[in-house]
Structure 1
Amino acid sequence: MHGKLRLALTIPLAMACAACGQERVGTIKPPADLLACADEPEAPDLPGRDQQAQRDRLTLDYILSLRSAWGDCHSKVAGLSAWSKENN
């Protein structure tokens, strides 16, 4: 009987103590501008081999655009990493 009385008093006391606890910690979300990478460029339609100069120019433009999209994503991943280290 004594154990049941102790249990009956312990539960309300534990609930009262839990109500006095600290506020819940909210989740910090990363900046929205770091959550999406630039789209990958579409491969160009290349003209025939008789127009090699134009093929070279289109290929170079494509490679530079692809590299730019990679750089955008790489910088955002690095930004997320730095942001994460600051906020932990």
Structure 2
Amino acid sequence: MPSWTTADPTPPAAAETSSVSRRVGGRHGVTEPEASLAAEAGIALFKVGFHHWIAADEERELSLLMREALDALKAVTAGSSPGR
């Protein structure tokens, strides 16, 4: 059984998303489900950017890689893809 189940029944990733969602809602007045959607998207953008940033041959800043991930997400949700 995973160690996180003993103290908290919420998996770490879900707990982090919930925490970010509450902050987005509290600080910016965003309601559900938009706050959770923004939190999930932000975490995904960080993960994608970080994955590229730690690559041995990567020299760009993490913030730029996250911006590129955001641009790709915008393109996908608009029905196109940056590679098209």
Classify the TM-score, shorter chain. Answer: 0.3 to 0.5
Which structure is richer in relative contact order (CA contacts within 8 A, separation 6 or more)?
A: 1
Asked which structure has the greater CA Rg, the reply is 1
Give the structure-1-normalised TM-score: 0.33
TM-score normalised by structure 2 residue count: 0.34
